[in-house]
Amino acid sequence: MDDALKQSIIDTTMALVSIPSVIGDEKAICDYVEERLLKRFSRDEIIRHSHSLLVEPGPRDPSKPTIGLVGHLDTVPDRQDGPVRIENNRIIGCGVSDMKAGVALKIELLERLDLENLGVNLTVVFYEREEGAYVDNGLHPLLENYPSLQDIDLAFCLEPSNNKLQMGSLGGIHATLKFDGRRAHSARPWQGENAIHKAGPVLNDLLALEPKKVVLGGLSFHEVMNVTMVEGFGTRNAIPDQLSLNVNYRFAPGKPIETAQAELEEFIDGRCEIIYTDLSPSGPVCMDNPFLKPVLDLDGIVVEPKQAWTDVARLALFGIQAANWGPGESAQAHQVNESCDIDLILDGYELFHRALTQMGSES
């Protein structure tokens, strides 16, 4: 890779990270990406839907497979202690790993690939509102409104994965466990019913739970269930009459939401009310997709299970097979002073360029 290309990729990443795009505030970054791509592509090749973009460079050849590059523009709230900067060969800034490094690669690939002579059709999606509730995700309306997306034969979600190919997607349930008691003075607890104490047996059972290993396609996923938030009401000298726990159940690919709900309900066994607040399906492991082979053949490629939820699962609902593959550092996602190694970003560009070019030569 020559120095000019390296600098361009770094500059693009820095520009993206310098545009605040906390979930719900994606207009400015969407404007930037759209304006930049319109320098190469026609208006007909770029569809804007709210603050999301669907890029379908033409002409489209129906004899070629269609490869999708998919990723979000938003970030979690900014928790950096300083400006966007480079230190020790790392870009430091909100969202650089999750996933503006991946967005930068998509822009650079669109600008530089010889698309006319590529052996695949390329569809690239930049979407809003990934970092929130499942039902608010900005990819879903694109999938519903633009049927051409269902022509994708294989998609890559550029979620932070350290340039490793991460297959599948855990499903996820968030539910409120509501314990009701009866208020009383703490000096006379027998006159009330302590909602916190009622939760004790459930918490003990959760503490005893071990991660459950599930092997799919030779990859080991782990099903886990944890309390992640607590909300209560009361005063220091009163028996509390309410307690709510948010429980998060992460389950393996292939398990239907209904089965996961039934497992949670069996675990709770009527000991409290369950209020479901977020239901996210799992995503399949598509190791047998024929268009994955050029990636699997890359020197040094590492294949892992995705021990998290991503939009691989949402794409699967629309019949699109997908895998996670991106340059960001997974351990940096959502961190204070989020950062990403520059070499990882540059290596990611080369990996994608080689894979897409190889797909072309084999078609």
Q: Is 144 a catalytic residue?
A: no
Residue labelled with tokens 């795009």? 21
**Residue 234 pLDDT:** 78
**Residue 27 pLDDT:** 97
**What's the rounded Cα separation, in Å, for the pair 18 and 266?**
48
Q: How many CA atoms lie within 13 A of 257 on its CB side?
A: 13
**What's the rounded Cα separation, in Å, for the pair 291 and 284?**
16
> Given 74, 311, 338, 341, which residue is catalytic?
74
Burial class, 47, CB count within 10 angstroms (exposed 0-12 / middle 13-18 / buried 19+): middle
Token reading at 141: 């309306």
Give, as one character, the DSSP assignment of residue 194.
-
Average pLDDT score over residue span 292-308: 92
Residue 263: pLDDT over 60: yes
Cα dihedral 94, 326, 60, 114 in deg (nearest 10): 90
Residue labelled with tokens 């499903």? 171
**What's the rounded Cα separation, in Å, for the pair 312 and 321?**
7
Q: Which residues contact 238 (CB under 8 A, 6 or more apart)?
A: 183, 184, 185, 186
**Residue 235 pLDDT:** 87
Q: Pairing state of beta strands 121-127 and 238-239?
A: unpaired
> pLDDT tens digits, residue range 158-198?
999 999 999 999 999 999 999 999 999 999 999 999 999 99
**Residue 363 pLDDT:** 42
> If you average pLDDT over every residue of the chain, what do you get?
94
pTM for the whole structure: 0.88
3-state helix, strand, coil in the chain (%, to 5): 35, 30, 35
Q: Pairing state of beta strands 46-49 and 52-55?
A: antiparallel
H helices of 18-83, in order, are 27-37
Closest to 177 (Cα-Cα) out of 206, 211, 210, 135: 206
Give, as one character, the DSSP assignment of residue 120.
S
> pLDDT tens digits, residue range 313-351?
999 999 999 999 999 999 998 889 999 999 999 999 999
Share of the chain above pLDDT 90, in %: 87
DSSP track, 154-180: EEEE--S-TT-EEE-B-EEEEEEEEEE
> pLDDT tens digits, residue range 201-212?
999 999 999 999
Question: CA angle 24-30-32, nearest 5°?
Answer: 135
> pLDDT tens digits, residue range 264-281?
999 999 999 999 999 999
Instruction: Find the distance separating the first CA and the last CA of the chain, reported in whole Å.
Output: 25
Q: Is 74 a catalytic residue?
A: yes
Share of the chain above pLDDT 70, in %: 98
> Given 26, 108, 130, 153, which residue is catalytic?
130
